[in-house]
Amino acid sequence: MLGQEFAALAGLLGCKVILCRPRDPEAKGLVERANGYLETSFLPGRVFASPDDFNTQLTGWLQIANRRVHRTLEARPAERWEADRAAMMPLPPTAPPRWWQTSVRIGRDHYIRLDTCDYSVHPDAIGRIVRVEADTETVRAHLDGRLVADHARCWARHQTLTDPGHAEAAQVMRHRHHHLAAVDAAAVEVAQPDLPAYDRVFQLIEGGAGQEE
C-alpha cells in the first residue's frame, strides 16, 4: 500500500502511481535497464558530495550520453526532448511539503541527529519536543511555531554542525546556572555546634566526673 504522504505528493503533482507486481521482470524491465545503464556507465569511479553534486555530474554526463543513438528508440534522446516537454503538465503552484518530518524531545546537549550527523538546536528547547523538518538541502526545527534550528543539510558522515548563536546561548545559560548555584550555596545557613556541650557530655570540664548535673 502507498504511504499517506507519498499518495498526497502524487495527488499534488497530478500523477498516477503504478505498482508493479512482485517478480514481474517484464513490467519492471524498462526501469531496471535504465538503472543498470547508470550503474555501469555513470557511477563507477565517481564520488558525490551531495544530491546537487550528483545532479551536476549527471547533467554533464548526459550531454554526451543523450547524443548517442538509442537502440530501442532508434533516435538520439536529445532529439525527443521537445516532444516530451510539450506533453508534460506544469508544476503545481503549491510546493510539496518537506520530505522528512518527525518530533523529538531535545536532550541536554541540545542536538538532533539525522542520518549520521548531529545538528544543534537553540538551548531554549532543552527538555521540550520540537518538530523537525528536513529535505535534501536544509534541516530545520520548530518549537511552538518558532524556528529553533536552521542548518544546511550535510551529506558527509558523522559530522557535528553547530550554530554559533546556539553555542553562545548555551554558554550564557551555563554561566547563569553556575552563578545561581553559587548564590544558593552561599545562602544556606550552616548550624554551628555547641562545642561546650560535647565537653560536658564527656565530663571534661568543671573538675571532671561527678561535677555535672
Give the pLDDT confidence of 105-119 residue by residue, as tens digits: 999 999 999 999 999
Q: Which of 39-43, 73-77, 162-166 has the lowest mean pLDDT?
A: 73-77
Residue 149 burial (C-beta neighbours within 10 Å; 0-12, 13-18, 19+): buried
Give the mean model confidence (pLDDT) for residues 167-178: 87
Say what the pLDDT of residue 204 is: 56
When pLDDT is cut at 50, 70 and 90, the band that residue 27 belongs to is: confident
Whole-number percent of the chain with pLDDT over 90: 37
CB half-sphere exposure, 54, CA atoms < 13 A? 8
The answer on pLDDT for 98 being more than 50 is yes
Query: CA 29, CA 72: separation in Å to the nearest integer?
Result: 13
Q: Which long-range contacts (CB under 8 A, 24 or more apart) does 40-44 make?
A: 41/65
The answer on pLDDT for 159 being more than 50 is yes
Give the mean model confidence (pLDDT) for residues 197-201: 62
Q: What is the pTM of this model?
A: 0.60
User: Across the chain, what does the average pLDDT equal?
Assistant: 83
Distances (CA, A) of 79 to 1, 31, 35: 37, 21, 21
